[in-house]
A and B are shown apart, each in its own frame.
Chain A
Amino acid sequence: MKSNNKGQIRIIEAFLAVLIIFSSFAVSANFTITRNATRRDDLASVGSQALLKLDSDGSLGKFIDDGNWTALRDALNILLPVGVCFNLTVYDDQMQQINTAVISNGGFSSQQIHFTEYICASQGTVFRCYIIHMHLAVAT
């Protein structure tokens, strides 16, 4: 009886071993899914960080004060990672659009468009506050 069951036990043991290894893969896959979910907000965060960096020395407010939209677009082109498209709209504190030119580095071809809002107080002698709406997408 014992020797008869030996083959079946071997199969069960092998099955258990395979099960253990596959369960570890299942756990790993779960972690990957969780990580992908958190990645959705990354692009908006990248946009916020770029605007914050540009604002750290007062350049952002100065570009807007001067209406230098080309310089603003070029600066963001440098600060944002390659392959990220953006479109910026600048409003005053009464939510009136003030940018007279399109501040963008190309058309949006991606399905997923991310949005970030940034408030910028300028360092100029006369206090002005701007509200910046930035749309971002990964170029495909």
Chain B
Amino acid sequence: MKKYKTKFKANSSGQLLIIAALAIAILISSTTIYVYELSKETNNACASSISSFVLALKQNTKNTMISSLANVSNGGERTVLATNLNRLSQIFRSINHLEICNLAFTPLNDSNYVEGIWLSWNISDMGVSSVYTNFTLKVYSIADKVTLNYAINITTAITLNGYYTKLDGNEKLVNLTCKVYNEEAPALAKNITLFYESFGRWVPLNSSNNFSIIDYGNSTYHISFNATTTSNTVQVSAHICDLRNVFVQANTTCYKA
């Protein structure tokens, strides 16, 4: 029996060698394929030229919308948005040689937005400057065809509220809190100009009003100043430009604390 076992072992040692070799080969191949697939995934994510192109185009439409909103909110025509987007689309069409792209856009028209622009500066305690446009992007390349629908909304909003305490005579100390938002996220203001209503006209604030602004760095600004008015309320108007140069205005009525 022992002799038979030894003989069998000796006879099948060659087959065992082949099986072992196969196992090693499978191990080497699978390890290589695994490493290759892992690196391929990273490459695909980073190097796909069409995805880079789409990302760049989306970023540029966003930049164009910010530029247009800054222009319109500072007194420009509403048609600037369509003009700028058409120009951007034309530049992308003329420059890219590998891809053919078509960027179609529809500025939003509803109860708030007209030609994609919404400027709401007369609502009490709040001001909004916003732009909203729907896009359809079609990109054709040798390898791929991509159709993408997306919308971009750029909004700068401010809230303004406060109160006053009475000083001597008609003089009042006004305290205000102003908050700035970009797309509903806290944002910073580039400059703040304030006016208050005195005897029926808007008076700009200056150093004679003991005007001070405390910037808390988290989108909140505390403003205090002295105002001379006979009225029981103080009407205040804040004109703010955010870091993107988008202008927005808000009015509030301050009552005695």
Residues of A within 8 A of B (CB): 9-10, 13-14, 16-18, 20-21, 23-25, 27-28, 31-32, 34-35, 38-39, 41-42, 45-46, 48-49, 51-52, 55-56, 58, 61, 93, 117-127, 129, 131
Q: Besides A20-B21, A24-B29, 18 other CB < 8 A contacts?
A: A13-B14, A17-B18, A20-B22, A27-B32, A28-B28, A28-B29, A38-B47, A42-B47, A45-B52, A52-B52, A52-B59, A55-B56, A119-B91, A120-B60, A121-B60, A124-B245, A127-B67, A131-B91
Could you list some 28 contacts between A and B, CB below 8 A?
Answer: A10-B14, A13-B17, A13-B18, A14-B14, A21-B28, A24-B28, A24-B32, A27-B32, A35-B40, A38-B43, A39-B43, A41-B47, A42-B46, A45-B46, A45-B47, A46-B46, A48-B56, A55-B59, A93-B87, A117-B95, A119-B92, A121-B63, A121-B67, A123-B244, A126-B71, A127-B68, A127-B84, A129-B91
Cβ-defined contact, B28 with A13, below 8 A: no
- Residues on A with C-beta less than 8 A from B160 are none
Separation of A123 and B71 alpha carbons in the complex (Å): 10
Smallest Cβ-Cβ distance to B98: which chain A residue: A117
Q: Residue B15 contacts which of A13, A93, A120 (CB distance < 8 angstroms)?
A: A13
Given the complex, which residues of A lie within 8 Å of B52, measured CB to CB?
45, 48-49, 52
A25-B28 contact given A9-B14, A125-B67, CB 8 Å threshold:
yes
Q: Name the CB-closest residue of B to A48.
A: B52
Residue B216 at the chain A interface, CB threshold 8 Å: no
**Which positions in B face A, CB cutoff 8 Å?**
14-15, 17-18, 20-22, 24-26, 28-29, 32-33, 36, 39-40, 43, 46-47, 49, 52, 55-56, 59-60, 63-64, 66-68, 70-71, 74, 76, 80, 83-84, 87-88, 91-92, 95-96, 244-245
How far is A89 from B83 in the complex, measured between Cα atoms in Å? 27
Chain B: minimal CB distance from A43 (Å)? 10
Point out the residues of chain B lying under 8 angstroms from A122, CB to CB.
Answer: 63, 67
| CA of A93 to CA of B86, assembled, Å | 13
Complex formed: what's the CA distance from A68 to B47 in Å? 29
What are the residues of chain A within 8 A of B56 when measuring CB–CB?
Answer: 48, 51-52, 55, 118-119
Bound Cα distance A9, B18 (Å) = 12
Chain B CB count within 10 A is highest, among A24, A41, A119, A121, for A121
CA distance A131 to B95 in the complex (A): 9
Q: Look across to chain B and name the residue whose beta carbon is closest to the beta carbon of A38.
A: B43
The minimal Cβ–Cβ distance linking A110 to chain B, given in whole angstroms, is 19
The 5 closest A-B pairs by CB, nearest first: A13-B14, A17-B21, A24-B25, A28-B32, A121-B63
Interface hub of A25, A45, A117, A127 (most chain B Cβ within 10 A): A127
A28 / chain B contacts, CB cutoff of 8 Å: 28-29, 32
Q: How many interface contacts (CB-CB < 8 Å) are there between A and B?
A: 130
User: Whole-angstrom distance from the CB of A96 to the nearest CB of chain B?
Assistant: 14
Residue in chain A with minimal CB distance to B21: A17
Nearest residue, chain B, Cβ from A39: B43
Q: Pick the contact of B64 from A46, A118, A121 — CB < 8 Å?
A: A121
Q: Are B74 and A42 in contact, CB atoms less than 8 angstroms apart?
A: no
List B contacts of A31 (CB < 8 A).
32-33, 36
Q: Using Cβ atoms and an 8 Å threshold, which residues of chain A touch B71?
A: 125-127
Q: Which of A20, A27, A42, A120 contacts B63 (CB 8 A)?
A: A120
Say how far B90's CB is from chain A's closest CB, in angstroms.
Answer: 9
Taking a contact as CB atoms under 8 Å apart, the answer to whether A42 and B21 are in contact is no
Q: Given that A13-B17, A20-B22, A48-B52 are known contacts, is A56 also in contact with B245, CB under 8 Å in the complex?
A: no
